[in-house]
Every structure is written in structure tokens, then in C-alpha cells.
Amino acid sequence: MSNFTDPVQHGFAQYLQRWHAMLIADTPALRAYAARPFSQALVWAPGRMVDHIEALLEPPDAAQPQAPLPIVIACMARDFVPAPPAFGRGLADPVDVMIPGDPKQRCFKMRAVFADIRAQIAIIAADAPTARSLAMQLHLFVSSFGNRDFAYDVELAGMADRWPCAIAAPDLIATDQDDLATDHTVLALDIRLRASVPLLMAPASTEPNDGRGGTNADDPFGADYDPHGYLVVVEARGQAWAPGRADKPIATWVEAGRRP
């Protein structure tokens, strides 16, 4: 996993793709927008949202043709805000875990944080009815009970694991960005994503481990991140002696499958 927020962004894009697939066209421009492939219907702002909007609306030149309208731009804030305590406090202290489906049956440690991630959607259209319809249908999509959350894929020890992300408040308000120097209609909607983000811990190269990792196991940032697991107890033997008789045990037992 390159970082902790890219998977959430990818999952949010898939969430918006479901919205795009359900659009009902009530204007000619919206009919053309709904017929586009999703890859041509939404773009991510690499920096500040307003800068990206202004760049898209600049007069086109031969090197950079203007994007067809309407267009939807999405971005995620760079800051970190923990989710309210009522939602949960995450896992600050590491717990022992095994990734479901791990063929190597390794034991790792994990912490998890509940993060509030600010996302913003900008809708740009040549006419107000099209922009308003897109905003209205996004509000309806988010308000649906089945769309109050989504799952996103996180790579843990080289395996994809599904983690949840909730929409903190489904009541979206689309505000007109009339301060932009453009004749187009630009509406902005703020969405707060409440994501559960895992932080997987594996033994350092100097720590005892089970030796089950891959060739790049000692490099946690390697292209094929496949770490060693922590040592576990696979079998425990016990004996009991009678009081005053240390020469011969009266009972012996074996417990298998125990873990720390």
C-alpha cells in the first residue's frame, strides 16, 4: 500500500461511478453526459479545487483542448481530522490479527484509526438546469439507505482486504460558485467521508519472525510487500507433579494451536 488515503480515494471514485450509472437525463446536456464513459465524466483535482476549475475553464488552445461540459471534478482535503468519539476511537493499541485468506497463515499486529476525510465535488455545466439536476441526483443517491457507505480495498501484506467508509452526513448542499469569472454554472458540494483505516504492523528485520515473507520482506516499501509474520505458539506441553515428588510427573498434556 503506497499510503493510507489513496485506497479511500479509489473507493470513493467507484462510489461516484455507481451514481453516474444511475443518472436520469432531463436535459440534452445531461443526456450526453450520462452516455459518456465514467473515465471521461469525472476528473480528480491534483491540488486546490478552485485552481483546477479555473484551469479547465480557460480558453482552449491546441495543446490543451477544453473539457466537454458538463464535467464533475472531485478532490480530497490534505488535512487529517479524527472522527468524533461517538463514532469510535479506533485501535490505538496493537492487536494480533491474521489477514483472511492468507495462505501463509501469518500473524501480524494491527492498529486502526477512524478518520474524517473532507471531499468536495464541483459540477460545471453550461446551463443551470443541468448543473442543478446533477446536484439533485447526487443528493438523492447519497440519501439512499444502501448508499450511506461503501467499501474500499486496502492492500495488507500483499492481499486485498475490504474496509468500510461511511458518508457522515447525507444532506448535501450545492452552493453556487459565483465568484469565479465564468459564464458557466459551477456548483460545489462538500462531503465528509468517515473511513476506517488499518495500519498493519510486521516484524522489523532485527526482530524474530516466522520467515514466511517474500523476497522483499525486509523492505516494507518494496514493490512486492510480502512481510514476515510474528512468531506464534504452535504447541505447548505441560506436566504436573505430586507434592514432594519431583522424580516422576503424574500428568502430561499437549495444547496445540495456541497463539499469543
Q: DSSP class of residue 223? A: T
Please report the pLDDT score of residue 207 as a whole number: 87
Residue 260 has pLDDT above 50, yes or no: no
What's the rounded Cα separation, in Å, for the pair 131 and 119? 19
- What's the whole-number mean pLDDT along residues 154-172? 90
Residue 151 has pLDDT above 80, yes or no: yes
Dihedral angle over CA of 120, 126, 128, 131, nearest 10? -30
For 88-121, write each residue's pLDDT tens digit. 778 889 999 999 889 999 999 999 999 999 999 9
When the pLDDT of each residue in the chain is averaged and rounded to a whole number, the result is 83
- What's the whole-number mean pLDDT along residues 18-26? 96
Look up cell 494451536; give the residue. Answer: 257
Residue 256 has pLDDT above 60, yes or no: no
Please report the pLDDT score of residue 116 as a whole number: 92
Which of 11-20, 37-46, 192-201, 214-223 has the least mean pLDDT? 214-223
Which percentage of the chain shows pLDDT scores above 70?
A: 78
For the beta carbon of residue 11, count every other beta carbon within 10 angstroms: 21
- Selection from 12-21, 161-170, 247-256 with the highest mean pLDDT: 12-21
Tell which wins on pLDDT, 249 or 90. 90
Using an 8 Å Cβ cutoff, are 137 and 23 in contact? yes
pTM for the structure as a whole: 0.81
Among candidates 56, 171, 168, which has minimal Cα distance to 123? 56
For the beta carbon of residue 1, count every other beta carbon within 10 angstroms: 17
Among candidates 11, 248, 5, 246, which has minimal Cα distance to 149? 11
Which of 41-50, 121-130, 199-208 has the least mean pLDDT? 41-50
Q: How confident is the model at residue 206 (pLDDT cuts 50, 70, 90)?
A: confident
6-83+114-197 fold: STM4215-like (3.30.2000)
- Domain spans of the chain, in order of start: 6-83+114-197
